[in-house]
Amino acid sequence: MPDINLLSLKPIRLNSIGTIGFTTPQLMNTLYDLSKILTQNILYITYYEPKSVSEIADMLGLNQNLVEYEVKFLEYSGFLDIIYMQTKSFKYLSNIFISDFPPHISEKLHIIYSKYAKIICEKYISQITNTLSPIPCPLSPKIYIPQNDSNFLLWSLITFACQKKLSHPLSPTPYPLSNYNIKRADGSDCVLFTSVQKDEPLSFKEEMFRFYGGTYTYNTTPSGNTNLYVWHYNSYFDDRRLKWGSVFSSDFINLYYVFKNQINNDEAQQDILHRLSQNGFLIDCVSSSDSPVSLRADTYFTSTFMPPDTPPTFIPPDTPPTFMPPDTPPTFMGGAGGGKSSEFRIPNSEFRTPNMVVTTLSSEELINYLPPVPENILDLQPKLTSEIFDTIKAQYPDRMQDLCYAICQNALNSNDMITRILHQCLVDGVLKPLTDVQRKTVNAIMFSDVLPDLGISN
């Protein structure tokens, strides 16, 4: 860890804040306020031991009034706890789970996760590809695949399967994560976690295995009789890291109306169509010729990505609401070779087609379609938990040890593991590099009551 007495000369920066547990829109909005350097350094200074306002100000070399204002905001928002001292004074202690690993720890973790990711690819991911071959059967009657691209679908299915099925059914769980949730005034009940940005060189691209958010987004159409929700997993392999925060729930509802051919080309709706196109929900049909980036898996992007300052991330709830599809599912005809394509004309543009995997299956039905994880894979979890915990436990303060172990219990389907599985799939050729347009919506699935309408809009 950096010398906190030198933070006035070289302040730390935190990566985006994640959550485990129940969150509220108010909390997610508040997390945007944690992007300021001052705020992040206060959270870091108060992480290892309690500090008073004057101590924080001295360490940062700042005016005490300025620091006190920020401390009060953090305490009111539930990010700092008040610790009463024997001297009848009080100090502040951060309750956010902060990971700050030196290079040798990061290198060791990478070796551990990569070793297990390779085993999972060999023994489980191969079952997914075999079960669903030839794609899109047997899912085709209930799923829309943009441009009928099986590689695009496989990206989403592999990621979805890893997140939903790679968990060890321990009962009872020795250290349930819910025991460490913190109730806040906004109504949230969750654990917050983040990590310190590093500039030390590593033998691997650390940003390639960073997670930038994933959730179920719930929506109800204005008529009130149709529920939609979207699962998405944002990582290094897509381009939503800087853009997903600009996507609103109304975008999903508008895309749903596009499916039903209820978006017309009148002036009032042109802005809706252009916004959907801008965010990658609608794409030119000719974009199917867009060539993928011809790079090795370990150099998937040519530029170095600096993580965003502002967008928060959070973990989806364990039990999303189940949506029951209609009794008679629509027939899959999307993309090439399936009859009429789902095309929508925007003024002064080419035809557009939806650029997101859509299914009339419920989340639980899609999970059940995927092959079960072999017991010999699930049985790896206890050993993996021990290896990870023994490697990192010394990096956390005593009060965070139990929470650290609780998080390690889920290492098999953690974001560190899933991103390395995706990387291994690229190395093995199971997954192919994505085109620019595919990176806009890859690893996102809309659960709907209908598939895109196959008629051409007027």
Q: 346 with 273: CB under 8 angstroms?
A: yes
Residue 251 Cα distances to 219, 328, 424, angstroms: 10, 27, 33
Q: What is the DSSP string of 313-325?
A: --PPPSSPPP-PP
- 278 — phi, psi (to 5°)? -60, -35
Q: 47 with 98: CB under 8 angstroms?
A: yes
List the beta strands (DSSP E) in 363-429. none
Give me the pLDDT at residue 344, please.
Answer: 35
Give me the pLDDT at residue 401, please.
Answer: 96
- 223 — phi, psi (to 5°)? -70, -20
Give me the pLDDT at residue 248, please.
Answer: 66
Give me the pLDDT at residue 259, please.
Answer: 79
Residue whose C-alpha is closest to residue 451's, from 238, 215, 148, 135? 148
* β-sheet bridge partners, residue 99: 195
Q: 168 with 383: CB under 8 angstroms?
A: no
- Edge-to-edge, what's the strand order for the sheet holding 351-354? 282-284, 351-354, 344-345
Q: What is the Cα–Cα distance from 355 to 343, expressed in whole angstroms?
A: 11
Give me the pLDDT at residue 416, please.
Answer: 93
- Cα radius of gyration (the chain): 23
Q: 211 with 415: CB under 8 angstroms?
A: yes
Q: Which residue type, as a one-letter code, is found at position 364?
A: E
- 183 — phi, psi (to 5°)? -80, 130
Q: What is the DSSP string of 414-449?
A: SHHHHHHHHHHHHHHTSSPPPPTTGGGTTTEEEE-S
Please report, in tens digits, the pLDDT of each residue of the chain (458 residues total).
555 565 666 888 998 888 888 888 888 778 878 888 999 999 999 999 999 999 999 999 999 999 999 999 999 999 999 999 877 789 999 999 999 999 999 999 999 999 999 999 999 999 888 876 665 555 667 888 888 888 999 999 999 999 999 876 554 566 788 899 999 989 999 999 999 998 889 999 988 888 766 666 655 555 555 567 888 888 888 887 655 555 667 788 888 888 777 776 677 788 888 888 888 888 876 544 444 432 323 333 322 223 334 333 333 334 333 333 333 333 323 333 233 333 333 333 445 788 999 999 999 999 988 899 999 999 999 999 999 999 999 999 999 999 999 999 989 989 899 999 999 999 999 999 999 889 988 999 999 888 886 443 33
DSSP designation for 371: P
Task: Determine if residue 201 is left, alpha or beta; phi over 0 gives left, psi from -120 to 50 gives alpha, anything else beta.
Answer: beta
Give me the pLDDT at residue 176, please.
Answer: 85
Q: What is the DSSP string of 73-133?
A: HHHHTTSEEEEE-TTS-EEEEE-SEEE---HHHHHHHHHHHHHHHHHHIIIIIHHHHHHTP
Q: What is the Cα–Cα distance from 416 to 412, expressed in whole angstroms?
A: 9
- What domains are there in the chain, each with its CATH number? 4-99 (1.10.10.10), 103-181+200-318+327-447 (no CATH)
| Structure tokens belonging to residue 421 | 């599985």
| Structure tokens belonging to residue 326 | 């209609």
| Structure tokens belonging to residue 164 | 């939903």
Q: What is the Cα–Cα distance from 186 to 96, expressed in whole angstroms?
A: 16
Burial 65-93 (b: 16+ CB within 10 A, else e): eebeebbebbeebbbbeeeeeeeeeebbb
Q: Is the pTM of this model over 0.75?
A: yes
Q: 242 with 213: CB under 8 angstroms?
A: no
Q: What is the Cα–Cα distance from 4 to 9, expressed in whole angstroms?
A: 10
| Structure tokens belonging to residue 146 | 């943009």
Residue 335 Cα distances to 144, 196, 276, 349, angstroms: 8, 44, 19, 19
